[in-house]
Each structure stands twice: as C-alpha cells, then as structure tokens.
Amino acid sequence: MTHQELLQNMLSGWETYYHQIMNGDFSEVCWKEGHDKTYGTYDIQANTRLKLCCYIFYYHKDVPKELLLWLFREECQNLETNSFQGVSQAIQILTILLSVSEDHHPGLFERAKNANFDCYCGYECETELFRRTMKELPDFDAYRCLSLAYDTSETDYALQFFDMMKAEYVIKEEADCRTLIWWNDQLGRSADNEPLLRKSMEFAVIKNSPWEIISAHYDLLKFFTEQKNFSEACQEFEMLSAMDLSCCRETRLFDSILESCLDLINADIPEAKIIWNWAISYIKNLLRTDSLYGNFYQKLIPAVQKMNPPYAKKIQKQYEQWKKRNKIS
C-alpha cells in the first residue's frame, strides 16, 4: 500500500463528521469545555473539529459558508478558553476557506487575532505561511501524511506513515537523527532510539565538539537508564566521569547528567556507591548556591536516604524552604 492509499483510508474515516453537520448534527464538533489536572482547560472536541476541517479542505470546499462561519466561531472559542496558547491548524484551514482578512470578514479576523497571545503575535504570518505550504492531497509525501495523522491523534495511521517515511529517509547529519528520535518518542517507540543515538555520537565525534560529545554521551546515559539497561548506562557514566566536563559545568546539561546519576542510584544498582561518590561534591555545590529545582530535589532525597541517611533531613528541610519560596504546596 502506498502512503497515498493509506491517506485516503484515514480520511475516509472522517467523512462521518461531514455528513453529520450537513444533516444539522453539530454534537461532535462543537466547542465543549474540559478540564485536566495537568493541562488545565481545553476543548474536548477540538480534535474531531480539526478532522472535519481537514476533510472539508480536501474534499468539500464548496460547503455552505454558514457552516464554515459556525466552525470558525467554535474554533475561536477554543483558542480563547484553552489554557495553552497557540495558532491552531483548524483556524488556519478555516481562514483559507473563508478568505478571512482585515478586508474580508474583519470581525472574524479580529476575534481570531485576539484569541490568545500566540494568535496576536503569529496568526497573520502563520496564515500566510500556511497558505504557501498547504498542499493538495496528491502532493502529500509520507512525512506530510505522518504529520497530519499525528496532529489528528490517528496513532495507528501515524505509525504506518512513520515506517513509510523511514524507508525513504536519508540520515545526512545529526539533525536527521533528532527528527527520527523525536518521532520515536512521540509514537511510543523510544526503545528503537539506540542506533540513532549512537549515530548522533558519530556526528559529534566527527565534528570534534566537546559539548556535543558530552551531550551525546548524556543522551545515551539517559536512554539506557530509562530502558533499565543499567550495565550500558554505567558504561556511559564511566566515560562521562572520566571526561573534562568543564565546558558544561555551569549549564543545565551538567545538571541533567547529575539527575541521571540520581536515577541510577535510586535504581539500587551495585555501582550506586561509586556514582554517588563522584556526584556528591557537585551536588553539594548546587545546594550551597541554591541552584536546584523541584524534580532534582525529588530524586535527590531518596538517593540521599540510601547513601547517607543522616544527611537526608538537611536536604528535606532545604527542599521545604525551596517550595515555600516558590509557593509550591
């Protein structure tokens, strides 16, 4: 099956939303407020509305203008009430379909423009960019199909498009590795990242960049720790601990290396004491300068309880003071 055939299959599943609105049923695409403990207020049906907008754009641009206007207003309500800022793809599609501008539907343009901070800063230029880059279906490559499937939460299709994209993908530089690593992470295939991370290391070595070599080792350390491959993780730690890390000592990269060390210690591996003895002097320096952050404290406290229990009370007290200063309950 070609990616174009797979795309047609995915889009055919969205046809039902089109028939529903044409029959006067807007129940699955209207704005519907939802609340999430982490992400705040959001529109429960924003994804189905995006699917409908895509389907209309590709197959039924001749839908009645009144329906497009209604969808535009619903999307504005989403942008106005969503806890996350952004210029949605749905508002871009509807802008094109309605030719919304300061001269044409100025009221709609102003409402969308002022929906949130990102819209105010980027809606105009993003719309122009969207006009230039949005292609008709026959022009879609596997990567564009993958992006559309991901944007509409069609994970099964996204995985298939991703496999098609990888078959055509040529890795020429480290950024190409990063692209594939990002997609693996987003699609639940993080375990497939080892060869890509090692390829990134090769690029860093070729460039002979100390920072990039350290960063590549850290990425492997973090990867192996998350995959619970502690023997490989310890090898990466040994290499890092033997390197000159002065170029990143005062940066977040070094903090992240220490954080991964705490992950290994908290995993109760045999090498925990060795890792602790290397990391503790750097951690104490961060404590003296009050440079720690919440996630680090949450990993440090159980590590200290394992490695130096009497010291744990002092760390816990400093963490409570940090939370109080930052108004965190």
Q: What would the two tokens of residue 278 be?
A: 């290397």
Q: Looking at the chain, which runs of residues are DSSP E strands? A: 33-36, 40-43
SS3 at position 230: helix
Strand-pairing partners, residue 34, are 42
| Domain assignments of the chain as residue spans, ordered by start | 3-140, 240-329
Each residue's pLDDT tens digit, 92-124: 999 988 888 778 888 999 999 999 999 999 888
Provide the pLDDT for residue 327: 80
Each residue's pLDDT tens digit, 232-279: 999 999 999 999 999 998 899 999 999 999 999 999 999 999 999 999
> pLDDT category, 9, cuts 50, 70, 90?
very high
pTM of the complete model: 0.85
The whole-chain average pLDDT of the chain stands at 92
Q: Please, are residues 11 and 54 in contact by the beta-carbon 8 Å criterion?
A: yes
**Segment among 26-35, 107-116, 117-126, 302-311 with least mean pLDDT:** 117-126
Provide the pLDDT for residue 220: 98
Residue 160 to residue 173: CA distance in whole angstroms: 24
- Between 117 and 127, the more confident residue is 117
Indicate whether 166 pLDDT > 70. yes
Residue 158 to residue 143: CA distance in whole angstroms: 10
Residue entry with tokens 């009430």: 81
Provide the pLDDT for residue 269: 95
- 279-309: buried (b, 16+ CB within 10 Å) or exposed (e) per residue? bbebbeebeeeeebeeebbebbbebbeebee
How many other C-beta atoms can be found within 10 angstroms of the C-beta atom of residue 195? 10
Residue 263 to residue 300: CA distance in whole angstroms: 9
Sequence letter at residue 76 = C
